[in-house]
Amino acid sequence: MSRASAEINLSAIADNLKFIKSKTNAQVLAVVKADAYGHGLLPVARAAQDAGADWLGTALLEEAITLRNGGITKPIIAWLTPVGEDFKAAINLDIDLSISSTELLNEIVLAGKSVKKIPRVHIEVDTGMSRGGVGDDWQIFLEKLSISAKNNEINIVGIWSHFARADEPDEGMNKEQLNVFEDRIKSADAAGIKAEFIHIANSAASLTSKAAHKSIIRWGIGLYGLSPDINNLGDSKSLYLKPAMRLKAKLHLVKAVKAGVSVGYGGTAAAKSDTKLGVVTLGYADGVPRNANNLAGVFVDGKRAPLIGRVSMDQFVVDLGINSLAKTGDEVIVFGDGSSGEYTIDEWAKASGTINYEIVTRIGPRVPRIYPRE
């Protein structure tokens, strides 16, 4: 192993996909945006496709293009595509595009005419999150959309939206959003727009709300074996999910120190007793949160060693304990599924004041992704 690596268990990816397929009658869209949540775009997409994913979804168009050029044959949708993107390439590659404004509608229609091919589109509706999607100008937008559809300028494949609080199943806003979404579908239907696919469920709603499943569910964080919200929904194990990423590094140095010595930048931590410290070959340049505290650390020599002091750009320090047998060059597990006693992604998230999504997606390109054969 080099100084660090992220081992990705593609069998776990496949199992997580098959698990949710067994729980729904809807088609399953595997969300592989953000380099497959840091797990590697093409390897994960291929594993998901082979495991039965009906769709692949990305935020960025360049990721969707990479998927199609990389051999993905299932339908692909890209949903964060600002005006000025290469829509001609997307249309030629049969990539579905999301539309959330008149400006975007007009540009995609023009791109379709330029390549003499009808674009496949999904209309994003804002149902209360106040982020993406057509909002209060829905009726005005619907009139223009209807004209484009009647003129065969676009093929309206889907209508979709996104929950703001699906990871809080009892929150009333979920029902409110679902009601708004269904009203928008009815108004589109009345305008002669009958989309084949309707989708609003993310991972949290896929796990908790059958009413939200509609014709497609979007399986995001769950694909990677992580809980959408450990506090409200439980951890991976309780949800029958298998975390797919294990982050490893090496001990660059092991040294004995006396009680009271300062550790790291700013003198924010000190050894509480005589101990051994280990310098780990990862830092915030690799995506390790700088603000992580001693609730996180590494697993080495058969036990946990908590972080001590601030995370640096390329390294961080752990307290190995005075009796540790760990030595320079030893491999450490930064996080994994916890089955060996190592810290989990959720524990690192808690120690960093963030969510598991951020922990995995921020692991940077200096860390090679490894796909072990099982």
Positions marked active-site? 33, 265
Burial class (CB in 10 A: 0-12, 13-18, 19+), 285: middle
Q: Name the residue with tokens 């569910």.
A: 217
Element (H, E) at 356: helix 356-361
Tokens of 2: 């080099």
Residue 241 near residue 16, CB atoms below 8 Å? yes
Q: Give the list of residues 6+ apart from residue 268 with CB closer than 8 angstroms, or none.
A: 309, 310
Question: Residue 297 forms beta bridges with which residues?
Answer: 306
* 218-221: long-range pairs with CB below 8 Å, 24+: 218/29, 218/31, 218/57, 219/16, 219/17, 219/20, 219/28, 219/29, 219/30, 219/31, 219/53, 220/31, 220/33, 220/37, 221/37, 221/356, 221/357
Question: Residue 369 forms beta bridges with which residues?
Answer: 6
